[in-house]
Amino acid sequence: MPESALPAPSASGRLRRIALCLQYDGSAYCGWQRQPRDPSVQETLEAALAQLDPHRPASVVAAGRTDSGVHAAAQVVHFDALGPIPAQRWPAALNGRLPASIRVRAAAAVPADWHACFSASYRRYRYTLYNARTPNLFLAPWSWHRYQVRLDEQRMRQALEGMLGRHDFAAFERAGSSRSHSVTSLQEVAIVRRGDLIEVELQASGFLYGMVRLVMGQLVAVGEGRLSLPAFERRWRERAREEVKEAAPPQGLCLLRVGYPEPVFNEAAWYDCQPRYLLESSDAPPGGPIG
């Protein structure tokens, strides 16, 4: 960008905090957080911001640090801007500089003490399972294909509902977490079968490192009849991390939205923005519900 085209600092010389709602296809990234060697969503977004507000280093804070390969339908981030670009113009300005795998859906000016992570009251994830015999090229990047047995979503729902409330979920925390404890509050759970697709949604005040994928690995074992409901409950209540060996693959997981005490964006921009497929149950694996 030529020097004459660079935005000048704001007239007041004061930083303004801007919140963004963004979507990304996590397939091409090592996750949200900047890494030394592999491309991250954070690094890519900060590079675009640096072109638009070159008077200060770009630094972006996210509501949740998604893992490698995990998608986001409405991730929320904030940054402090010095240039004069109005909040409502940031989406168009950034989308012209970002790759097609990242899109800013909305922007809003927020108070200086507002924080994308610490001000959030919940995070909600959706995991999509494809439960049919025949592979589907168009579903593969966004779901986990389980084709051996028809999953029993009723048993899976029972397993999840027993986890509601505030508990120590150390059994579902990957090694390497920087948290001082593994206690969190699971606020809502939902499982819906749409033909050959099963959507599992988990909402919590915060999630442990790798928690959703570890839960899903165990939950599928319950749905396939390989793990009993009592054994599932015992594992997490007794914090038996050594028995939780299977994690679901990342491509089925999507950060659906982040909630705040006061709405930041209009509902169309951030609420339930992951499109749904609807498939008839014509190719389900044999066996019927597992008793």
CB-based contacts of 211, cutoff 8 Å, min separation 6 = 169, 172, 173, 184
Q: Which of 53, 67, 152, 196 is catalytic?
A: 67
Q: Which residue has the tokens 């010389």?
A: 13
> CA torsion angle for 9, 14, 15, 19 (degrees, to 10)?
-100
Interhelix angle 229-237/153-161, nearest 10 degrees? 30
For residue 5, count other CB atoms closer than 10 A to its CB: 6
| Cα within 13 Å of Cα(156), Cβ side | 27
Assess whether 67 carries a catalytic annotation: yes
Interhelix angle 153-161/211-223, nearest 10 degrees? 130
Pairwise CA distance, residues 44 & 40, whole Å: 6
| Active site positions, annotated | 67
